[in-house]
Structure 1
């Protein structure tokens, strides 16, 4: 406080930026205290938006500012507070009994405890549901590369079309699938601060972000945001099937996937490659139920997991189990 008082008492213009920086720091700290608010029927989970430090899930300052600012969830009837330090062993044993098929419906999930629902999510994203006879890695062996089922991509096929959302200057997947299979690839990422351009033959870059709305992001970044429906219209791809969609959009997948399911944009999409993110300390089990219901919808749409990758650099600490769990799962689906 003495330091702040000395700065405020100075009148030199040189020190005025420091005052504004300190005030901004106070504002950011206050925003971090906003965790969750609720009403009788809904739960509004607020995830902090402003985090200037680059992390595995928050690659840049601008990425963080364009995260979804809240998830509005229906509240389970008879919600009761959850206790910390639930037995991990007991929850793991129950997870061994997770049946094949889609996650349960909302009523059944609501009947589970927080620990059971959270562990169900991790168990579900750890199970192979369909065997690909020839899975091949496209791009980097670590972060940036993805496994595709080569038997599901016709060769040669000049009509092969791939949408790749989330690049962060790593075109290894896009370049590889274009070169190996001859696909026309469209790469999307507004965070790179580059204009639309032809990255290389058959790989087209677009400074557009995938979202559940059309417009400009409501923050200082002012990114161009489009739904999948609108993107296909702008690129004149409405009458073309998309063979592969790759999506690594830093938590926005939980907003986008319901929108593309609602608008039937996965019709004709044979492979769907998604990195699922979870990084929160909220105690509402609806946070996990929301995710499991989206995974259920994907299963009912015909998508089966054939490859899973866990990001060892992307973790979070469970507030219930009081231990570190994976926060990022790279999952490759094929439509049966």
Structure 2
């Protein structure tokens, strides 16, 4: 268990600093005694922290033994970002998702999460755009025995 100060956004405004505890994926696996087991299905729903956690999971080799990965991704930061920062933000998100492809993960399914708080309203075009999506990845050719024989270095992902 790790303790940390953090702030979350509520109704478009950051909250005061909150002191909280969080557990890492590695800590959970240790607590369950699953360090050497394959993971058939891993669900990540960590409310916009996926963009900082996914690169660490990739670089640390924590997804090597995962055969299916479900992630809820959030891009609502772009709603309030200055126009010149939107494209670099989206490019960094894309690069992180592309790093999953380098590990052998293929997108099998996706669906927009249309929760009202994560919807961007484009008044000029009179439409709503979801900034939250559920994505399911399946690892191509996942074979534990082969994987353990041919361990490849993780792809380069910026932290």
TM-score (norm 2): 0.68
- C-alpha contact (below 8 Å) 1:318/1:324 kept by paired residues: yes
Query: Residues 20-99 of structure 1: matches in 2 within 5 Å?
Result: 49-51=8-10, 53=11, 65=15
* Equivalent residue number for residue 129 of structure 2: 325
Whole-Å separation in 1 of the counterparts to 2:53 and 2:123: 27
Higher strand share: 2
Whole-Å separation in 2 of the counterparts to 1:324 and 1:309: 15
Structure 1 position 305, deviation (Å): 1.1
Query: Residues 76-225 of structure 1: matches in 2 within 5 Å?
Result: 219-220=17-18, 222-225=19-22
* Equivalent residue number for residue 276 of structure 1: 73
Whole-Å separation in 2 of the counterparts to 1:331 and 1:273: 6
Structure 1 position 242, deviation (Å): 1.3
Query: Residues 214-293 of structure 1: matches in 2 within 5 Å?
Result: 219-220=17-18, 222-279=19-76, 280=78, 281-282=80-81, 283=83, 284=85, 285-293=87-95
Structure 1 position 275, deviation (Å): 0.8
Q: For 1:223, what is the secondary structure of its paired residue? A: strand
Whole-Å separation in 1 of the counterparts to 2:50 and 2:73: 7
- C-alpha contact (below 8 Å) 1:274/1:332 kept by paired residues: yes
Whole-Å separation in 1 of the counterparts to 2:124 and 2:28: 40
Q: For 1:316, what is the secondary structure of its paired residue? A: strand
Q: For 1:330, what is the secondary structure of its paired residue? A: strand
Judged with a 3 Å threshold, the aligned counterparts in structure 2 of structure 1 residues 225 and 292 are, in CA distance, closer, same or farther, namely same
Structure 2 gaps of 5+ residues are 1-6, 141-159
Q: Which residue, 76, 100, 111 being the options, matches 1:298?
A: 100
> Which has the larger Rg?
1
Whole-Å separation in 1 of the counterparts to 2:24 and 2:35: 13
Q: For 1:261, what is the secondary structure of its paired residue? A: helix
Q: Looking at both structures, which has the greater relative contact order when contacts are Cα pairs under 8 Å and sequence separation is at least 6?
A: 2
- C-alpha contact (below 8 Å) 1:229/1:263 kept by paired residues: no
* Equivalent residue number for residue 113 of structure 2: 311
RMSD (Å), alpha carbons: 2.9
Whole-Å separation in 1 of the counterparts to 2:50 and 2:74: 8
